[in-house]
Structure 1
Amino acid sequence: MEKAHAEILPGKPDGDEVTDDILSIRIVGPTKRALQMIDLPGLIEYHHEGPRIVSKIDSMVNKYMAMPQSIILAIVAADNDLNNAKILNWCDKHDSNRERTLPIITKPDRLRRDEIYTLIRIVQGRDDKFNKFNWHVLLNRATEETVEHVSAEERNRYECEFFRAEPWSELDPSSYGVEQLKHKLRGKYFAAAKRELPAMKLNIDRLLLQEKYSSLSEDLKDDDLKRIFKLAIDRLKFTAVEHAGGDRKYETSQFPDDSPIKLRSRIREQDERFCEELTNEDPSWMSPLDSYVQLSSQGILPTQPLVSKPSESMSSGHSDRNDRISAVGEKLDKTRGTELSRHYNPQTIAELFWNMSNRWEAIAKQYVENVYTCCKMYFNTVIKLQFARTEGSIRGADGTEVDGFPNVASVARKYMFNYIIPKLKQARQNANLELWQLEQDRRDHTKNHDKRFIVSQKDHRNSTQFRSRMEMKRSQLLMGKTTVADNHTIDMENLAEQMEPSSLLDYRNKKGEEFLHDAEAHYQIVRDTYIMNVLTQVQERHFLRNIVKLIPDDLCLTEIQELIKEDDEAGRKKLELRQERLNLEEARNILEIWSED
């Protein structure tokens, strides 16, 4: 007790303090009853530090007295005036029918002879002011008995001798002494227990309904285990196909809109992010082809960035189209082979395209990784749902057969790690191999039979001719070679001379512009095809379209048994829960027997 006092109230050796801390001393044994003894501070009327301590003690005592399952031992010293004992008023307040109260008078050896007779009348119930209580008298140990460690037997013998002497011998033997107090307490204890039986039984029933107990099951038979696994896999496959297709069911609606279980929505987000990133990767300066312009203006596709980033193989200093054309012209000069003069290798267009599209594979690989992550998060969520008992089974609508695993979290984790993850990794590897096929196609000879390419070439020639005409007209006006009457005409001979490159450099740049335009037009058309190929041949083919192939269903009995096998800690916890459940069931059975009695 002294050690506990030092821990709870350090620095206060005199014990002149009250706290809410409880010192609990537990005594366990085969013959010990489930009884808690709570020794509360004695009631006081005054404290030198003020009313705080007094109020705190009063509040603490009232709290425990108000508990309906408590037995109140109201102790009053014999030399105190019972009329001033506020504990008796609280007994009236909290236990008006006296079912839980046992008032005890102590220190009877301190009374004068006339006071003894008054106390005897009270204990015998002959005093109208106090006859509603069933009093009991105890003789306290003397101080020397405590110091000299007098045994309990000696103490009881001395107490019996005290009450057998005059005038205490007038009391009924059942109203004094420790041994008789034990009998009274036993009666109160069992009476209180009987009153609490219905509530205790309801509480035990409520505890047994807790998930940690209700989910416990006995070891499954082999046939039941295989049946449960097949049902769980069938549910998982059916649900996965629905979620991959974007179908919605009630259970899906119970999850947030951004939940991984809404698989098609999460993949759609990755699709759009991939398309946008690849579209914004466009390094060309040319306007998008008509089909793209129309879709962008309608808000269907992202608008092209105002400034595109050239590929790393082109100089970062090319800030306008003329610089870009000049750079392509230099490339034409530096890559000449056996062509005749003023002819250039058409393979240069392919090289320009390859430089522009160099990052496609890296962007697509990241897209595949994102799709893999979405699928992984999806299965992490959905397996737990489909491997658990269905609501119909829990409600008994499907009979008494269990259709899910009791330790669903552990089973789902093992199935995910041992079977789903390897399948997902294989799908990711196959998807990346499919990307490699597309990458090889990108690196191959340039092929383009899209009519947009021909139309784009024609539009480019018309635009070039139109610019030449406008430049010729401005030149004529500046030189005063036209009048107001003929200012809408152009000298065709001069125009032809102007359109003909005056030098090899001009001719080279003209060809450079044509090559650059064709490479950019080819880039835009092939990019759109590449996007569709990645979405269908890579993502859909290897992940969502055949999602059931990612769910292994051919596990043998041994593998299924390994799934439900618990680790040592989980097994120990399960045994503890089973023992707890057994104890509760036994307690409920005993309470039912007592209730019948």
Structure 2
Amino acid sequence: MGASENPIGPMPRCTTFPSATELHSAKSTHRLNQIDRVRASGIGDHIPLPQLVVCGDQSSGKSSVLQGITGIPFPRKDGLCTRFATEIILRHDSTKEQVCATVIPHDSRSEIEKQDICRYRRELHDFEQLPIVIEEAIKLMQLRGAEGVNKGPSFSADILRIEVVGKTGLHLTIVDLPGLISVSNDEQTEEDVEIVSDLVNTYLESSRTIILAVVQANNDIANQGIIQRARKFDPQGQRTVGIITKPDLINHGTEGRIAALARNEDTTKLKLGFFLLKNPSPLDLDTGLGADERRRRELAFFAASPWKEQHLDPGRVGADALSAFLQNLLDAHIERELPKVRREVEALLAQTEQDLEAMGQERSNVGHLRMFLTSFSMKFMGLTQAALDGNYLELERDLSTKDDLLDVSYRLRAQSHILNGGFSENLRLHGQKRSFIGKHAQPMKDEKNIGSKQAEFDSWIREVYTRTRGRELPGNYNHLLLAELFQELSSPWESIARKHVGEVNDLVQRFVSKVLDKIVSEESVRAELHQYVSDELERRAQEAEKELGKILADERREPMTYNHYYTDNIQKSRQCSMRNSVQATMKDVISKDWGGVVHLTNTEYDRNELLDSLGKRVVVDMDAQACEEARVGLEAYYKVARKTFADNVCRQVVERHILSKLPHIFSPTVVIGFSDEDLVRVASEPQIRKERRQRLAKLAQGLGESLRGLRK
């Protein structure tokens, strides 16, 4: 409102005080306004901003100091001005006069609370309305003691902002903090003590805060809480200004000690030095002491004995000197810190926008939910297909970290080859219940007592031969013999195959879990998809088990093969057996009938004599002959069947039911088939996530506006 419409009355500072040289340039005003707008947008909760903060112990005279600096007559009634931070903005403007009060909610407030608090705005006709504003702020913040509020905190992290525009003579922003409580009492609990302490610490710990430490001259300076706290956060005293109050209450004769402190010559030294102020007396306040009269009385007090003998620096005495100093200090401080603030706003904005992008689009209806899941299903399908195809470059681009190569667990095809190869080798080494050890078989290198093992193997074949004999003639064997021999010999196959299928299922489960963890950042959605995919994998695993059961059942049937490898092996075994038999018989004939030396001529007589000698020593055991034939057939068939079984398990079980269908367990087609209930259950956005999205969006908006303002 304009001054002509609603005159405010006396401005905080008298109109005769400011001169042209004391008023700051348009640039300074612009800088201050930039920071104020950033603070008003709530960015100060995320990025420390350059600011002047008045703090001190309770009853240290803070209110008088603030009135001396700003000209605002803060009410002295207990509990009104000490329960939250108060931000005072002074802007000199000779064309209008306006006083406006608003409340800035702390970032910890809920969105609903923030909206309610931000709606508060009151324009003051005069400063006599200030107590009303403070009472309204207390009620708005729901502090204990407000109307209808008997519980809860007495202090708040929200900020009351009072903006004064007019002939103030200053361009200044200053924050008043609640006074530090030394001891709890009936009205101020231990919790209140901690809340105030934490609130003050929050402001003081920022390296961009200029600390205006108010100390009482009539108390030991070194022991006052604000000095101790300032030393904690500003150990070198580089951003602390000491303000000494109540010099009229010290004992007579101690003026020299206070003067030394004011000259920064005492043991407590600050780089920015001290200022000495005289507070108005209670009588002065009751009589409505004006700003001009206060200024006159303050200067007269220090110009009289015993203070005039202390050789005080006039630039360090009185509220006017302090105001001028703070004006220049804040201007230089903002000019120095503003580029850093701008860079931090840019960095936080980039991070916030990145976080928002990572959250994806808002999902407010079923269509959004379906699109949301479809995007994940496309990623999942593409990555799993690439893993099956061995396209590891694509996987590395999407799944590997910046500094690490693609995790081996993502190389699904390579890992499945390793498992399949291990399965085949395991079958070769451990798939037979008994080892082939005979005249024509290759015994294991580490096998001992080969003869004993051979006899044991032959005995087993003869035993099975005996119990499977049918109506076949001697020297022949029943077709059931080979079936029983093979089934017992290959009995370890089932456990080996089931173990292999289980290992492949585990491999796929780990792969799918890692892919979902990579592509789905939202925990609740990821958990639902994990459950869905796990159920699908379990169903595929059951199908694989059924397929394996069919293959195992086929192996329990009578042997069957059309593989020429079987007949080739039979022929080779028979030739080998015949050769070995002839060699053994020849050795015996030559040794016994020919005196160890044989000399054959190409005559019919010699040939007939040799054949007669061989014939006498060839004794055919028809049962042994049948067992040997069965043995040869078993060995040849086992090799063919083992290789076929390994291929069938890898192709028909692992590939058909587990690997090849993997990209389709969560594909866009699957998402299209989801019911609305499924979509809501899997992809709906939790309330806490909605609130986080709103906070990020609001923060991004505030940061964007702040950055645009800071760049002007």
Deviations 1:100-156 (A, max 9, x none): 453556896568599599879969xxxxxx9x977512689xxxxxxxxx99x99xx
**What secondary structure sits across from 1:496 in the alignment?**
helix
Task: Using the TM superposition, give the Cα deviation of residue 358 of structure 1 relative to its aligned residue in structure 2, in angstroms.
Answer: 1.3
Asked whether the 8 Å contact 2:589–2:614 carries over to 1, the reply is: no
Q: How does 1:399-414 map to 2 (within 5 A)?
A: 408-414=522-528
Task: Using the TM superposition, give the Cα deviation of residue 536 of structure 1 relative to its aligned residue in structure 2, in angstroms.
Answer: 1.6
Query: Which residue does the alignment assign to 1:230?
Result: 374
Farther-moved stretch of structure 1 (452-461 vs 230-239): 230-239
Q: Is 1:358–2:472 an aligned residue pair?
A: no
Deviations 1:257-309 (A, max 9, x none): 55332221121111111111111124364489x9x99xxxxxxxxxx953689
Q: How does 1:169-184 map to 2 (within 5 A)?
A: 175-176=316-317
d(CA) in 1 for partners of 2:273, 2:711? 27
Asked whether the 8 Å contact 2:212–2:243 carries over to 1, the reply is: no
Task: Mark the runs of 5 or more structure 1 residues left unpaired by the alignment.
Answer: 1-24, 40-63, 81-86, 124-129, 141-149, 294-303, 310-315, 389-406
Task: Using the TM superposition, give the Cα deviation of residue 565 of structure 1 relative to its aligned residue in structure 2, in angstroms.
Answer: 1.9
d(CA) in 2 for partners of 1:556, 1:416? 16
Q: Structure 2 vs 1, CA of residues 219 and 538 (structure 1 numbering), >3 Å: closer, same or farther?
A: closer
Q: Is 1:518–2:633 an aligned residue pair?
A: yes
Asked whether the 8 Å contact 1:384–1:408 carries over to 2, the reply is: no
**What secondary structure sits across from 1:31 in the alignment?**
strand
The residue type paired with residue 167 of structure 1 is S
Query: Which residue does the alignment assign to 2:460?
Result: 327
Asked whether the 8 Å contact 1:468–1:498 carries over to 2, the reply is: no
Query: Which residue does the alignment assign to 1:3?
Result: none
d(CA) in 2 for partners of 1:592, 1:163? 49
Asked whether the 8 Å contact 1:74–1:101 carries over to 2, the reply is: no
Query: Which residue does the alignment assign to 2:530?
Result: 416
1:263 is aligned, of 383, 405, 412, to: 412
Q: How does 1:164-313 map to 2 (within 5 A)?
A: 164=301, 166-167=304-305, 175-176=316-317, 192=333, 195-208=336-349, 209-210=351-352, 211-216=354-359, 218-252=362-396, 255=400, 256-283=405-432, 285-286=435-436, 306=445
Query: Which residue does the alignment assign to 1:47?
Result: none
TM-score (norm 2): 0.54
Asked whether the 8 Å contact 1:326–1:512 carries over to 2, the reply is: no
1:492 is aligned, of 608, 611, 634, to: 611
Q: Structure 2 vs 1, CA of residues 257 and 477 (structure 1 numbering), >3 Å: closer, same or farther?
A: farther
Task: Using the TM superposition, give the Cα deviation of residue 573 of structure 1 relative to its aligned residue in structure 2, in angstroms.
Answer: 5.5
Q: Structure 2 vs 1, CA of residues 535 and 174 (structure 1 numbering), >3 Å: closer, same or farther?
A: same
d(CA) in 1 for partners of 2:447, 2:319? 98
Query: Which residue does the alignment assign to 2:571?
Result: 458
Deviations 1:386-436 (A, max 9, x none): x56xxxxxxxxxxxxxxxxxx544323322312x22322222222222212
Query: Which residue does the alignment assign to 2:160?
Result: 31
Q: Structure 2 vs 1, CA of residues 184 and 351 (structure 1 numbering), >3 Å: closer, same or farther?
A: same
Task: Using the TM superposition, give the Cα deviation of residue 207 of structure 1 relative to its aligned residue in structure 2, in angstroms.
Answer: 2.6
d(CA) in 2 for partners of 1:71, 1:247? 61
Query: Which residue does the alignment assign to 2:680?
Result: 561
Query: Which residue does the alignment assign to 2:665?
Result: 550
Task: Using the TM superposition, give the Cα deviation of residue 348 of structure 1 relative to its aligned residue in structure 2, in angstroms.
Answer: 0.8
Query: Which residue does the alignment assign to 1:376?
Result: 509
Task: Using the TM superposition, give the Cα deviation of residue 30 of structure 1 relative to its aligned residue in structure 2, in angstroms.
Answer: 3.6
Q: Structure 2 vs 1, CA of residues 585 and 199 (structure 1 numbering), >3 Å: closer, same or farther?
A: farther
Query: Which residue does the alignment assign to 2:548?
Result: 435
Task: Using the TM superposition, give the Cα deviation of residue 376 of structure 1 relative to its aligned residue in structure 2, in angstroms.
Answer: 2.0
Task: Using the TM superposition, give the Cα deviation of residue 327 of structure 1 relative to its aligned residue in structure 2, in angstroms.
Answer: 2.4
d(CA) in 2 for partners of 1:36, 1:264? 65
Task: Using the TM superposition, give the Cα deviation of residue 323 of structure 1 relative to its aligned residue in structure 2, in angstroms.
Answer: 2.5
The residue type paired with residue 432 of structure 1 is E
**Structure with the largest fraction of strand:** 2
Task: Using the TM superposition, give the Cα deviation of residue 548 of structure 1 relative to its aligned residue in structure 2, in angstroms.
Answer: 3.9
d(CA) in 2 for partners of 1:467, 1:121? 120
Task: Using the TM superposition, give the Cα deviation of residue 534 of structure 1 relative to its aligned residue in structure 2, in angstroms.
Answer: 1.4
Task: Using the TM superposition, give the Cα deviation of residue 169 of structure 1 relative to its aligned residue in structure 2, in angstroms.
Answer: 7.1
Asked whether the 8 Å contact 1:453–1:521 carries over to 2, the reply is: yes
d(CA) in 2 for partners of 1:556, 1:482? 92
Q: Is 1:482–2:611 an aligned residue pair?
A: no
Task: Using the TM superposition, give the Cα deviation of residue 524 of structure 1 relative to its aligned residue in structure 2, in angstroms.
Answer: 0.6
Deviations 1:202-227 (A, max 9, x none): 32442341454553454445444434
d(CA) in 2 for partners of 1:113, 1:465? 129
**What secondary structure sits across from 2:392 in the alignment?**
coil
Task: Using the TM superposition, give the Cα deviation of residue 351 of structure 1 relative to its aligned residue in structure 2, in angstroms.
Answer: 0.5
Task: Using the TM superposition, give the Cα deviation of residue 575 of structure 1 relative to its aligned residue in structure 2, in angstroms.
Answer: 1.7
Asked whether the 8 Å contact 1:427–1:543 carries over to 2, the reply is: yes
The residue type paired with residue 527 of structure 2 is R
Asked whether the 8 Å contact 2:585–2:618 carries over to 1, the reply is: no
d(CA) in 2 for partners of 1:354, 1:469? 33
**What secondary structure sits across from 1:447 in the alignment?**
coil
Task: Using the TM superposition, give the Cα deviation of residue 519 of structure 1 relative to its aligned residue in structure 2, in angstroms.
Answer: 0.9
Q: Structure 2 vs 1, CA of residues 114 and 197 (structure 1 numbering), >3 Å: closer, same or farther?
A: closer
**What secondary structure sits across from 1:491 in the alignment?**
helix
Q: Structure 2 vs 1, CA of residues 319 and 122 (structure 1 numbering), >3 Å: closer, same or farther?
A: same
Asked whether the 8 Å contact 2:255–2:306 carries over to 1, the reply is: no
d(CA) in 1 for partners of 2:258, 2:456? 124
Deviations 1:432-452 (A, max 9, x none): 222122122111121132222
d(CA) in 1 for partners of 2:541, 2:240? 75
Farther-moved stretch of structure 1 (428-437 vs 408-417): 408-417
The residue type paired with residue 565 of structure 1 is S
d(CA) in 2 for partners of 1:462, 1:516? 14
The residue type paired with residue 411 of structure 1 is V
Q: Is 1:527–2:642 an aligned residue pair?
A: yes
Query: Which residue does the alignment assign to 1:102?
Result: 241
C-alpha root-mean-square deviation of aligned residues, in Å? 5.2
d(CA) in 2 for partners of 1:133, 1:516? 105
Task: Using the TM superposition, give the Cα deviation of residue 322 of structure 1 relative to its aligned residue in structure 2, in angstroms.
Answer: 2.9
Asked whether the 8 Å contact 1:120–1:168 carries over to 2, the reply is: no
The residue type paired with residue 415 of structure 1 is L
Farther-moved stretch of structure 1 (512-521 vs 463-472): 463-472
Farther-moved stretch of structure 1 (371-380 vs 482-491): 482-491
Asked whether the 8 Å contact 1:278–1:360 carries over to 2, the reply is: yes
1:578 is aligned, of 687, 694, 698, to: 694
d(CA) in 2 for partners of 1:121, 1:541? 89
The residue type paired with residue 389 of structure 2 is G
Task: Mark the runs of 5 or more structure 2 residues left unpaired by the alignment.
Answer: 1-153, 162-173, 181-203, 221-229, 290-296
d(CA) in 2 for partners of 1:214, 1:37? 40
The residue type paired with residue 681 of structure 2 is E
Task: Using the TM superposition, give the Cα deviation of residue 181 of structure 1 relative to its aligned residue in structure 2, in angstroms.
Answer: 6.5
Q: Structure 2 vs 1, CA of residues 114 and 242 (structure 1 numbering), >3 Å: closer, same or farther?
A: closer
Farther-moved stretch of structure 1 (203-212 vs 103-112): 103-112
